[in-house]
Amino acid sequence: DEAASVIQFGKSAKRSPESTQIGQYGNGLKSGSMRIGKDFVLFTKKDNTMTCLLLSRTFHEEEGIDEVIVPLPTWNARSQEPMTDNMEKFAIETELIYKYSPFKSEQEVMEQFNKICGVKGTLVIIFNLKLMDNGEPELDVTSDPQDIQMAETSPEGTKPERRSFRAYAAVLYIDPRMRIFINGHKVQTKRLSCCLYKPRMYKYTSNRFKTRAEQEVKKAEHMARIAEEKAREAESKARALELRLGGDLTRESRVMLRQVQNSAITMRREADVKKRIKDAKQRALKEPKELNFIFGVNIEQRELDGMFIYNCSRLIKMYEKVGPQLEGGMACGGVVGVVDVPYLVLEPTHNKQDFADAKEYRHLLKAMGEHLAQYWKDVAIAQRGIIKFWDEFGYLSANWNQPPSSELRYKRRRAMEIPTTIQCDVCLKWRTLPFQLSSVEKNYPDSWVCSMNPDPEQDRCEAAEQKQKVPLGTLRKDLKSQEEKQKQLSEKIRQQQEKLEALQKTTPIRSQADLKKLPLEASTRPVGEAQTRPQRPRSPPLPDVIKNAPSRPPPPPMPLPKSTNQLKKSSSAWPDISTPKLASILSKEEASTSRTHQHTVTAGKSNSTLKTLAKPSTTMKPASSVLHKSKSSREASSTKAAKIAALKKTAPVKSPQASTTRKRTLNNTEDGSEEEGEYKKMTKRGKFAAVKEERKDSSELTDSAGEEELAELKKAQK
């Protein structure tokens, strides 16, 4: 059953707020092993039983199985016979193990059980390790036969615990009580507080750490409420049964009643216990949390400094810089801080690499920074001289990351300040060895035991373990005077005013040229003008149809034809033009015909007059119809050519007076249309010019000529 619980997610028997054990989620083996490789096989022995468990992603992928299937065969430890009631199931499970694990027979499986020394123990083997892009495993097990290292090349300045599993395992627990072997070689674990120069403890009390405690209170309230409901239900059931039985005193009735009453009593006791737990947690929520900060100087490797933060004795964060260490100077350099945070104060994440509540974790770091500054004052290293202090222990180089001198006198100086602390391989107790010159460069064996201790009081495993004596320090906050507070407040106000002035000094950018001038020049236009001036919105890009349109404007719409009375007024409005002037106008008209392809002739009132006058002539009729329907400059040019031809043909007519009058009217009409067209062209170009035209008295046009023209128009219409 215990082996089967390994594959259950969230299964843990150590989950309680008061527990000091590390694992509380029940997912560590599964998630951790699947991160390293694709498969793992577990061998465990206990109570004369041997069990093998295979959790294989390869098996599920190759077989196409969606649900989790785990082979779990069991043998008798003495006879090595199968312990099962279903031999068919046992055979299938063993065949899967032989197929998908490195052990292909029952003999090889039994050899793994034999590797477990003693009557109980567990062996976990992870295979099909995760590979990098180059096809090599992430973990390097060949470079160092006594270590497991990261295969990737570590950047310069990487801490040894981040690339070496042996170095990481040595500081993984704040107070190690186990033996760790890597490739058959024991890891020399460390108690960090015993490896520091001038260690000092500071007690820190705070009410800020409430998140985890509030969660526990809510959980306790929920459990107490459920227990109370169950107790009430059981008591109600007992009372109802007692009333129902009444005076029935038969043996069976009494047994049934007693069972129900006992169940109700048990439920009530559980409810009372849950209620007391809830009350205790509510009181604990209001109580301040106390932590112990231990600081000391790492004189063996001064570049390895920072805070080591543990949770229930398990390392969560390491080399965290706080307080003065964040400034990067020599102040507090080489100082290591250690703190063990319980679950009720801070809860770690599932991978044990961070804390769940980042806000409270930052508050913890801030508090450690304040105490670190106090420790630096207490040890008075800066007062004696930081460089002189490090020179005393063999740090002769100006490079901070350089190791100390390996000269014997410096080694002895460091060994005198930090006594050797070693763990017994049998009783796992920690022993502090007295200082001896002969033991300065001595390497102790992996299987060191208490009998090897030169101290006669501590040379037996039965002897009690001596606790480390760490002096207690106190955080003394500097009380600022009223003048200092006023000065600090004035400084903050000045800084805020400078920020405000910097924000107000903005540079308006109104063109590409202004942008190119920055940051050498700034615009002289005031900011207020740029804000009050309305900004012209940018037009959207023109479509291709509009871009490629001709530059000539379309001709205006033709006016409605005039009535007869308007025609008379229009005809009589033009002055008499002499023959020489007519010839000059005609020559100008011919010369302007070549320009009609570039300019559009606009037709005004004179066009309608021309159309009316041209009707008696059969030659002018098609030309006038073309002019009436003209929509382009090409049609307008052909109309002008038709006008000139009509003028030439209408000259030899029987009635000279009417002909002369018609010519004058036509010429005046055409001259007027020419003037109007020129005026509109000049207006479009933005040039204004006054067109002066000599006009003669309109009385030269006789009434008889007007009547004759009207008669000819009527005949043409018929």
Residue 403 token pair: 């190791």
- Model confidence pTM above 0.75: no
Kindly state the average pLDDT of the residues 700-711. 50
Residue with the bigger pLDDT between 519 and 284: it is: 284
Distances (CA, A) of 416 to 194, 344, 407, 412: 13, 39, 14, 6
Are 182 and 165 within 8 A, CB to CB?
Answer: yes
pLDDT of residue 20: 60
Q: Which amino acid does the sequence have at 12? A: S
How far, in Å, CA of 163 to CA of 401, rounded? 17
How far, in Å, CA of 270 to CA of 232, rounded? 12
The predicted-structure confidence for 612-630, as pLDDT tens digits, reads as follows 333 434 434 433 443 344 4
Nearest to 310 by CA among 349, 346, 339, 335: 339
Kindly state the average pLDDT of the residues 244-268. 86
How far, in Å, CA of 211 to CA of 55, rounded? 36
Residue with the bigger pLDDT between 176 and 637: it is: 176
Nearest to 417 by CA among 404, 430, 428: 404
Q: Where are the domains of the chain?
A: 4-197, 211-287, 292-458, 564-717
Kindly state the average pLDDT of the residues 99-110. 92
Count of Cβ atoms closer than 10 Å to residue 187 Cβ? 21
How far, in Å, CA of 6 to CA of 433, rounded? 41
Cis amide prior to 519 (ω within 30 degrees): yes
Nearest to 607 by CA among 642, 575, 577: 642
pLDDT of residue 709: 56
How far, in Å, CA of 608 to CA of 155, rounded? 95
pLDDT of residue 110: 92
Kindly state the average pLDDT of the residues 168-197. 92
pLDDT of residue 646: 42
Is the pLDDT at 596 greater than 50? The verdict is no
How far, in Å, CA of 518 to CA of 430, rounded? 70
Residue with the bigger pLDDT between 296 and 661: it is: 296
Q: Which amino acid does the sequence have at 576? A: D
Largest CA distance in the chain: 162
Kindly state the average pLDDT of the residues 106-116. 91
Distances (CA, A) of 199 to 164, 219, 257, 464, 469: 27, 39, 66, 23, 9
How far, in Å, CA of 315 to CA of 339, rounded? 10
Quickly state the pLDDT bin for 714 (edges 50, 70, 90).
low
Weakest mean pLDDT among 2-6, 253-257, 384-388, 692-696: 692-696
How far, in Å, CA of 517 to CA of 497, rounded? 28
pLDDT of residue 50: 92
Kindly state the average pLDDT of the residues 331-339. 94
How far, in Å, CA of 617 to CA of 502, rounded? 86
> Angle of helix 656-685 relative to helix 703-717, nearest 10 degrees?
80
Could you give the percent of the chain with pLDDT greater than 70? 67
Kindly state the average pLDDT of the residues 41-63. 91
Kindly state the average pLDDT of the residues 149-168. 89
> Angle of helix 656-685 relative to helix 633-649, nearest 10 degrees?
160
Which residues are registered as beta bridge partners of 37?
129
Is the pLDDT at 44 greater than 60? The verdict is yes
Backbone angles phi, psi at 131, to 5 degrees: -110, 155
Q: Strand 185-186 vs strand 181-182: parallel, antiparallel, or unpaired?
A: antiparallel
Kindly state the average pLDDT of the residues 49-66. 90
Give Cβ neighbours of residue 343 (< 8 Å, ≥ 6 apart): 17, 19, 24, 212, 311, 312
Q: Which amino acid does the sequence have at 469? A: K
Q: Is the dihedral of CA 24, 28, 29, 31 positive or negative?
A: positive
Weakest mean pLDDT among 171-175, 211-215, 570-574: 570-574
Could you give the percent of the chain with pLDDT greater than 90? 36
Is the pLDDT at 491 greater than 70? The verdict is yes
pLDDT of residue 297: 96
322: burial class by Cβ within 10 Å (0-12, 13-18, 19+)?
buried
pLDDT of residue 65: 87
pLDDT of residue 17: 53
How far, in Å, CA of 276 to CA of 290, rounded? 23
3-state secondary structure at position 386:
helix
Are 446 and 186 within 8 A, CB to CB?
Answer: yes
The predicted-structure confidence for 629-662, as pLDDT tens digits, reads as follows 444 444 444 444 444 444 344 444 444 444 444 4
Residue with the bigger pLDDT between 652 and 515: it is: 515
pLDDT of residue 486: 87
The predicted-structure confidence for 8-39, as pLDDT tens digits, reads as follows 665 555 556 555 666 666 677 878 888 889 99
Kindly state the average pLDDT of the residues 147-157. 86
Is the pLDDT at 530 greater than 50? The verdict is no
Weakest mean pLDDT among 118-127, 428-437, 506-515: 506-515
Residue with the bigger pLDDT between 420 and 600: it is: 420
Our CA angle for 554, 557, 560, nearest 5°, is 165
pLDDT of residue 681: 47
How far, in Å, CA of 570 to CA of 706, rounded? 11
Is the pLDDT at 185 greater than 80? The verdict is yes
* Residue that is written with structure tokens 């005198």 in the block: 416
Q: Which amino acid does the sequence have at 395? A: Y
Backbone angles phi, psi at 61, to 5 degrees: -70, -45
Are 322 and 369 within 8 A, CB to CB?
Answer: yes
Long-range contact set of residues 558-564: C-beta below 8 Å, sequence gap at least 24 = 558/603, 558/607, 558/628, 559/603, 559/604, 559/605, 559/607, 559/608, 561/608, 561/611, 561/612, 562/605, 562/608, 562/609, 562/612, 564/710, 564/713
Is the pLDDT at 166 greater than 90? The verdict is yes
